[in-house]
Amino acid sequence: MDYAFTNAHEQIRENVSRLCAQFDDGYWLKKDKYGGFPEEFYKAMADAGWLGIAMPEEFGGAGLGITEAALVMQTVAESGAALQGASAIHLNVFGPNPIVVFGTEEQKRRMLPPIIQGKVKGCFAVTEPNAGLNTTSLTTRADRNGNGYIVHGHKVWTSTAQVADKMLLIARTTPQDQCRRATDGLSLFYTDFDRKFIEVREIEKMGRKAVDSNQVFLDGLKVPLEDRIGEEGKGFQYLLHGLNPERVLIGAEAIGIGKLALKRAAQYAKERVVFGRPIGQNQAIQHPLAQNWMELEAANLMAFKAAWLYDNGKDCGAEANAAKYLGAQAGYNACLQAVMTHGGYGYAKEFHVERYLREVMICRIAPVSEQLILCFIAEKVLGLPKSY
């Protein structure tokens, strides 16, 4: 049993960290204040080849695994970019997974290289306002029309839709009442984000201003048959295949933000002098930060255990969900404690820790709630009866 990262892993971390250093606190503070997609950061990551870290070599990727992808995403988050940086490239890193696994050779050749090269930006159109996490209740429909489909529907919390060229879309191709199972009748598409038939309304939110979140209204969007991934009606199963890697990456990102916040808090505690002594000399300051370190390290072990299981073709549903849950909790706790350690200055934007707290909140909420993860573990690991 070996818990050490390899030299190659350490090299990945070092190289990504060096690139991210070009985008300092001032860059991300400005993005947090004024918004606007971080084009310069996105291009730098694409030019360095990091967007294709887990994509096949034959299409221009590095051919590595979710372990390496998690290292990249965690390093980005820990650099100070937090989720503004991680979310800007998140879909490029994990989103093409259904195309890689279920797409035809023609689709892979056509779709993957532009994603890997950063020539296109994609968005993930899954969640709907009246379905939430109950994906089988989606009502967006794709009606067959000749050699393609016509799509009508409404999506919500679609990130990067303001700047997207492409869209990974799930829609119902067979009415639910005509399906044997609720999970049947949904199809997956990767297609053009044609704004002649799509209206986008941005949702103002508490953090991650550089990466927009939106409501998306699709009215008569034409999707050619060759943009459907896999068989008609099996999109839900294809979507599930990519959920475990996404949970691992979200957990790794949250841990990265937590490590960043902890580092800032510990440094401040060494330098801030009150009553003639550094506040870090007080156990009331020391102990919570020490607990944060332990929580982050434990969550990190689970995250990379889940990544290792996935990369080795083993079942990892419980571990991937646990990685997301524990990583988000540990990251949030560390960010909250960083604000409290800074006291009044923790509330000031120039010290950055309040931004980390606002951004890490996303990891607790999305892409799956903490409560559903607990239900999953209770049912699938402990064998308890399904509660919903």
Query: Is 224 inside any structural domain?
Result: yes
Separation in Å, CA 218 to CA 125, 172, 195, 215, 305:
10, 13, 9, 10, 40
What confidence score (pLDDT) does residue 240 get? 86
What confidence score (pLDDT) does residue 268 get? 98
Q: Indicate the pairing of strand 166-172 with strand 122-125.
A: parallel
What tens digit of pLDDT does each residue of 45-65 get? 999 999 999 999 999 999 999
Tell me: do 244 and 231 sit in the same domain.
no
Tell me: do 269 and 377 sit in the same domain.
yes
Q: How many domains does the chain have?
A: 3
Largest CA distance in the chain: 79
Tell me: do 36 and 12 sit in the same domain.
yes
Tell me: do 70 and 159 sit in the same domain.
no
pTM metric for this prediction:
0.96
pLDDT range class, residue 256, cuts 50, 70, 90? very high
Other Cβ atoms within 10 Å of 383 Cβ, number = 7
Residue 323 in this model has a pLDDT that exceeds 90:
yes
Q: Which of 62, 95, 116 is the last residue of a domain?
A: 116
Q: Give the CATH number of the domain where residue 352 resides.
A: 1.20.140.10
Q: Which of 116, 144, 176 is the last residue of a domain?
A: 116
Tell me: do 207 and 261 sit in the same domain.
no
For residues 132 and 51, give the distance between their C-alpha atoms in angstroms, rounded to a whole number.
28
What tens digit of pLDDT does each residue of 276-300 get? 999 999 999 999 999 999 999 999 9
Outline where DSSP puts E strands in the chain.
122-125, 141-144, 148-159, 166-172, 186-192, 198-202, 213-224, 228-229, 273-274, 277-278
Structure tokens at 356: 């980390």
Tell me: do 187 and 260 sit in the same domain.
no
Q: Give the CATH number of the domain where residue 169 resides.
A: 2.40.110.10
Tell me: do 246 and 361 sit in the same domain.
yes
Residue 370 in this model has a pLDDT that exceeds 90:
yes
Q: Which of 116, 149, 173 is the last residue of a domain?
A: 116
Q: Indicate the pairing of strand 228-229 with strand 141-144.
A: unpaired
Structure tokens at 43: 């291009």
- Give phi and psi for 51, each to the nearest 5: -70, -25
Q: For residue 217, which of 194, 195, 199, 202 has the smallest C-alpha distance?
A: 199
Yes or no: say if 77 and 202 are a contact pair by the CB < 8 Å rule. Answer: no
Q: Could you give the 3-state DSSP secondary structure of residue 258?
A: helix
Tell me: do 37 and 109 sit in the same domain.
yes
pLDDT, the chain, mean: 96
Query: Is 203 inside any structural domain?
Result: yes
Q: Cα 192 to the chain's mean position, in Å? A: 22
Structure tokens at 82: 């937090």
Task: Identify any residues that bridge with 192 across adjacent strands, giving them in sequence order.
Answer: 166
Query: Is 387 inside any structural domain?
Result: no
Tell me: do 183 and 71 sit in the same domain.
no
For residues 239 and 212, give the distance between their C-alpha atoms in angstroms, rounded to a whole number.
23
Residue 327 in this model has a pLDDT that exceeds 90:
yes
Query: Is 319 inside any structural domain?
Result: yes
Tell me: do 303 and 347 sit in the same domain.
yes
Query: Is 222 inside any structural domain?
Result: yes
Residue written as tokens 């308890």?
384
Task: Identify any residues that bridge with 151 across adjacent strands, giving them in sequence order.
Answer: 142, 221
Separation in Å, CA 348 to CA 235, 257, 263, 339, 356:
45, 18, 17, 9, 12
Separation in Å, CA 152 to CA 93, 190, 191, 200, 232:
28, 16, 14, 14, 17
Q: Residue 102 belongs to what domain range?
A: 7-116
Write the DSSP assignment of 9-37 as a string of letters: HHHHHHHHHHHHTTS-HHHHHHHHHH---
Query: Is 39 inside any structural domain?
Result: yes
Query: Is 386 inside any structural domain?
Result: no
Tell me: do 110 and 128 sit in the same domain.
no
What confidence score (pLDDT) does residue 131 get? 86
pLDDT range class, residue 94, cuts 50, 70, 90? confident
What confidence score (pLDDT) does residue 180 get? 92
Q: Give the CATH number of the domain where residue 107 resides.
A: 1.10.540.10
pLDDT above 90 coverage of the chain, percent: 94
Tell me: do 375 and 265 sit in the same domain.
yes
Query: Is 388 inside any structural domain?
Result: no
